[in-house]
Amino acid sequence: MKKFLLLLGVVIALNSSVSMAEDFLGAPLPPGGKVVSQSDSMLEKSYPISYEEAIQFYKKALEGWEDVKFWERNKEIKIEEYNVRPWHSITVEKADGGGTTITVRKDSWTWILGTLLMRWLTVFGILVALFIPLSIVGAISARIASRKNAKMTA
């Protein structure tokens, strides 16, 4: 019985689901921390670790993942995932008291459709911006060509 309990304890201690960090929607989170707010599509936790430690945690945890980008801003780093995982972004930001706040957001149709709309409007705007000067150049070229034709026929 003692051997069985010892073996069970070793298996539990070495089990990756016990020894690994927490997760939300499949996104890794450092162990511990205090939940600031949570919903079905977002989790915000504060941690007493430094900003640099949190960044190192994510660089190690997401090492080898494809389609993950780190975007640095003033007091935060946004990690975006461009694949089929249920989470869309992880935001790591410096808290006022020296700690770190980590926010995990779920992919939403609002974000997806908003991004597609922005891209469509941008392409449309570029095409309009190109159409106007090309129309002006075409009109000028047509007038020059018609004047040359008028001179040649005269």
pLDDT digits (tens, 9 = 90+) for 33-53: 888 888 888 899 999 998 888
pLDDT tens, position by position, 93-118: 988 878 899 999 987 788 789 989 99
Range among 10-14, 24-28, 130-134 with highest mean pLDDT value: 130-134
> Would you say residue 29 has pLDDT above 80?
yes
Tell me which of 23-27, 29-33, 57-61, 124-128 is least confident. Answer: 23-27
Task: Give the residue, 17 or 101, on which the prediction is more confident.
Answer: 101
Q: Please list the alpha-helical segments (H only) found in the chain.
A: 2-14, 16-19, 51-61, 109-153
> Would you say residue 13 has pLDDT above 60?
no
Contact present, 55 and 63 (Cβ < 8 Å): no
pLDDT at 125: 96
How many residues are listed for the chain in this entry? Answer: 154
With bands split at pLDDT 50, 70 and 90, how would you rate the model's confidence at 20?
very low
* pTM given for the model: 0.60
Distance (Å, whole) CA 100 – CA 53? 9
Contact present, 68 and 78 (Cβ < 8 Å): no
Mean per-residue pLDDT, 10-20: 48
pLDDT at 75: 81
